[in-house]
Structure formats: structure tokens, C-alpha cells
Structure 1
Amino acid sequence: MSASTSPKASSKAKPVAIVAGVAAAAVLLGVVSYTATKPATPGASGSSSAAEVSADPAAGVYPELEAYARRDASDGLALGRADAPVVLIEYADFKCGYCGKFARDTEPVLVEKYVKNGTLRIEWRNFPIFGEESEAVARASWAAGQQGRFWEFHRAAYAEDAKEKGFGKDRLAALAKEAGVPDAARFAKDSEGAEARAAVRSDQEQGYALGASSTPSFLVNGRPIAGAQPLETFTEAIEAAAKTAKRAKTQQPATPSASATPSSSGAGR
């Protein structure tokens, strides 16, 4: 996991589109989730490499943080049905090695197992913390998304040894070509535009409002997970969230039928 220092503007970061009162809880949550779920130090006595995900589906879940999910069907930086019962939000940096590991080793399994059957939706949040190149590739990924090629760009940028080649202007253009972005001129313009900068800044401020201080960081229906944890950590969290969502759906009160509606001529009038 890669730690970062908060930028000068982080003290001004505000929660984006979340319910009142979440911000204060979220800052504390970021610290707690990092401590509770960071990968164990190799060789540490009695330690486990996996974050603890309780058998209790409600344990470690903050329902108010589910409001961070956008569920926007037109979001080019999301994968899966907008109405999927589980949303995994990923805050990541393309220059982060552990983010790349998650993208190559874990995410494809989650897509195959849960996204394709409609259980899971993955929503990406650009969280650049490693300087100018991080910012540039974040904007470029957003620009690729405007042409429907975000996930192809994501795959190219997270390919083995891709980050070692850097993310300069020519390299970003090459990645866009590899990703099949159809309009190179539009891609270049969008990457440097005000809309891309605002979108990346919005994602980044949301991450800081959550208290995220490292990449990758995740929310699974309000459950925080920090770091490129083993696959089992994510499958357990997703399946627990899916069970909770299914139970909540079955427990919703049925709409009264016309025959069950009291007559207006009944007693008491």
C-alpha cells in the first residue's frame, strides 16, 4: 500500500454529494479502516495478510457511506449495472504499484464473478497522490472515459511495468491509442480541459473527505477496505453486502392492495 501526505488544499476538502454529518465520521473512519485493514507486515508474528471481514454482514459497515455511490448509468468510469445490489468504489492512482496489482490480479476475477451476473457495480474515483504525472494520467483516464474507453485505458495504464515508462504527454497519447480511443485530438483537448480537472478534483476531495490517506482504498456498500487485499477479502465483503441487500429487499413492506384499504365509510368517521 502506498501512503501519501495531504496536499495544502486538503484542509479545504469537503464531502461531495453525501448526507449531512458523514464528513466528520468519515475522517475518523479513514484512520480506523487503514489501521484495521492494512496488509500485515511480512514476517510479523501472528499476523494475517487479509483484512478482517466479519461473518456478521453488518460489522464494519457504515450505511451512511453508501451515499458515496453515484449509480449514474451514464458514468463512463463505472462498470456494471447502476441498480446492482453491491457497489465497490475504488480510490486509486495510476502510479500506485499496489493499485496495479489489484487491477491485474483481483479486479478481473470480481468482474467475471460478480459484475457479469449483475451483483456488483465498480465505480472508479481518481485519487492522484504522486504528483504531476498522477494528475495528468488521471485526467487522461477521464478523457478516455468520455469516448467510452476508460476501462481499456485503465487496463493499458495498469499493465505490467507500464508505470515504469512514466505518464508523459507522448506516453498518454500512446496509451489512448492502445485503448482504442477513437478521436485522438479530442482526447488531447479533453485531458487538459477544465472539465477533466474539475472531475479529478471532485474525486480527490471525496477521497480526502472520507479520510483516505493511501491507495488503493475502497468502499463496499459502506464497508471500508484499505489496500490491495487478497481476493478473499473482497469476495467476503461483496457476498456479505449482497446478502444484506437481498434481506433488506425482502423485508420491505408490501404496498397495500386495494382490497386491504379501509373503506371510507368505515367506523370512526
Structure 2
Amino acid sequence: MRKIQNLNTEQAARNSWAKRSLSIILVCVALLIAFLSVGRLAQQTGPDPAATASATPDSEQPDDQAAEISRRTAKDPMAIGNLDAPIVLTEWTDLRCPFCAAFHRDTMPLIESDFVEQGLVRIEIRDVAFFGEQSESAAVAARAAGRQGKYFEYLDAVYQSAPARSHPDLPREKLVEFAQQADVDDLEKFTADLSDDSLRAEVQQSTTEAQELGVSSVPFFVAGNTALSGAQPSEVFTDFLHNAVDQGRR
């Protein structure tokens, strides 16, 4: 019995070390993003740079820490792609984030066709509620749709109707409308799940974990040993994922 307790203690220590290391890495990524953004802003005379965010695809992290981020759980409603794909693309997203919406409208279809359907990349979503109580309720609603196998369909419905730059208003009745658009089968169950405290606790935990890792803006992505921030142009994501896949095959 004592040996088992010792093993559990050692495992907990290793998990804690990995989480602290990953937090340091992501904080460094965030600081580098901020530094690069300030530099570009000082030189830019065109549109608001926030519209395209900023990227840092050269932040290295060991493969075991990349594995710490990915779930690779069978029948995960918040994931698409082969369970054993060479690379997992982890995305942190807020359903009231206009740039998250832009990514899902403009770039996600390309990633699905060129990488996910080819068995090269698996996408796993981590939801956060950075923009208030409605963000949290919307994440709960997406998870409720996920219970009926319609998580990504629900994201599509929300993001297709999102404004270009502002945070959308997402009251409860609107969340139910999105469920109808996503063809969620049992709307009565969906509506009941909107009040499920366990789903809300999962969203709150996901948000807390993101903050502990140093993820302070969305959308934010990690693939293999690289990170990327913002709704970048499709060609940036293509290069980002090709590099991650190449590294994963080495």
C-alpha cells in the first residue's frame, strides 16, 4: 500500500512539474506576441492590427509537454480527426470572440480538408470564458450540444452569425436558436442542460487552466512544439501545420 502511495506522489509531482513548465513556456509565448505586436504597431499606418492579431510560430516546447496539452480521448465531442493523427492542434476559443469566429469561418474548413481529412491533424477545442457571463453560458451551450454529438455544428452556427469586430450578444433564447440551427435533436434536453451546473463547472475549470498556462488571448493554438496566436491568414496556418507535421514525423 505504501508503495502505491509513493508512486501516486511521484506521479503527482511529475504532473505538477510538467504543468509549471508548460505555463512558463506559454507565458513566454504571450510576452513575445505582445512585444512583436507593439513593434508592428509603431510602424503600421493601415488598419487596426488587432484585426489580424499576431503570431509566434517559433516557440519551442518539448514533445512530452505538447502531449500534456492534448487529450487524445476516444469519442471526445470537442475534437475531430483521427485519434492517432501525428499532430494535435489544440485551440483555445471563446464563443464571443470575433477573431475566433473569423478563424472558424475562413480557415477551419481549409484545415479540415487539407489536414484533418488526410489523417495528418486532430483538432481539440479548449473553451474559455474571457468576455463575461455570456461567454460562459455560450460555452455551456456548446458542451450541451456536444452531448448530442453536435459540438462543432453548434460552433459553426454561433460563429457564422458573429459580427466582424464586436462581441455578440448571446442571451439564453439565442443559444436555443443556435441549437435549432445546428440540428440538435433533443431541444428539451439541450435546454435542460443549459442549467447543468456540472457543465458550467467544466467551462470554469477550462478557463482557469488556460489562465494558469498563460493563455490570455484567443484564438490561441498549439501544434506539436509550436504555438500560434490570432486569426492569421490561411497560408500562415498552412505553413504552421506543415511544419508541425514534418517535426512530428522526425
Report the TM-score range of the alignment, normalised by the length of the smaller protein: 0.7 to 0.9
Shift in CA distance, 126/164, structure 1 to aligned 2, threshold 3 Å? closer
Task: Describe the superposition over 1:208-229 as per-residue Cα deviations: whole angstroms up to 9, x where unpaired.
Answer: 1221111111111231211111
Give ranges in structure 1 of 5+ residues lacking alignment. 1-15, 54-58, 248-269
CA apart distance, 1:165: 6.0
| 1:178 corresponds to | 181
Q: Percent identity?
A: 30
Map of 1:1-269 to 2, 5 A cutoff? 19-26=18-25, 28-35=27-34, 40-41=40-41, 44=44, 51=55, 53=57, 59-63=58-62, 64-161=65-162, 166-247=169-250
Shift in CA distance, 38/65, structure 1 to aligned 2, threshold 3 Å? farther
CA apart distance, 1:43: 6.2
CA apart distance, 1:51: 3.1
For the Cα contact (< 8 Å) 2:60–2:225, is it kept in 1? yes
Task: Describe the superposition over 1:115-148 as per-residue Cα deviations: whole angstroms up to 9, x where unpaired.
Answer: 0010011111111111111111010001101100
CA apart distance, 1:18: 7.9
Shift in CA distance, 67/238, structure 1 to aligned 2, threshold 3 Å? same
State the one-letter code of the partner of 2:90.
I
For the Cα contact (< 8 Å) 1:90–1:125, is it kept in 2? yes
Q: Across the two proteins, how many residue pairs are aligned to each other?
A: 225
State the one-letter code of the partner of 2:238.
T
For the Cα contact (< 8 Å) 1:27–1:211, is it kept in 2? yes
Q: Relative to structure 2, which stretch is displaced further, 87-96 or 200-209?
A: 200-209
Residues in 2 aligned to 1:202 and 1:192: alpha-carbon distance in whole angstroms = 17
CA apart distance, 1:158: 0.2
Residues in 2 aligned to 1:118 and 1:197: alpha-carbon distance in whole angstroms = 32
For the Cα contact (< 8 Å) 1:37–1:225, is it kept in 2? no
Give ranges in structure 2 of 5+ residues lacking alignment. 1-14
Q: Relative to structure 2, which stretch is displaced further, 192-201 or 59-68?
A: 59-68
Residues in 2 aligned to 1:65 and 1:198: alpha-carbon distance in whole angstroms = 25
For the Cα contact (< 8 Å) 2:29–2:56, is it kept in 1? no
Residues in 1 aligned to 2:104 and 2:82: alpha-carbon distance in whole angstroms = 20
Greater share of helix residues, 1 or 2?
A: 2
TM-score by length of 2: 0.81
Residues in 1 aligned to 2:97 and 2:42: alpha-carbon distance in whole angstroms = 19
Output the aligned Cα RMSD.
2.6
Residues in 2 aligned to 1:122 and 1:33: alpha-carbon distance in whole angstroms = 25
For the Cα contact (< 8 Å) 2:56–2:227, is it kept in 1? no
Residues in 1 aligned to 2:167 and 2:185: alpha-carbon distance in whole angstroms = 26
Residues in 1 aligned to 2:158 and 2:123: alpha-carbon distance in whole angstroms = 18
Secondary structure of 2:160's aligned partner: coil
Residues in 1 aligned to 2:128 and 2:187: alpha-carbon distance in whole angstroms = 24
Residues in 1 aligned to 2:182 and 2:150: alpha-carbon distance in whole angstroms = 6
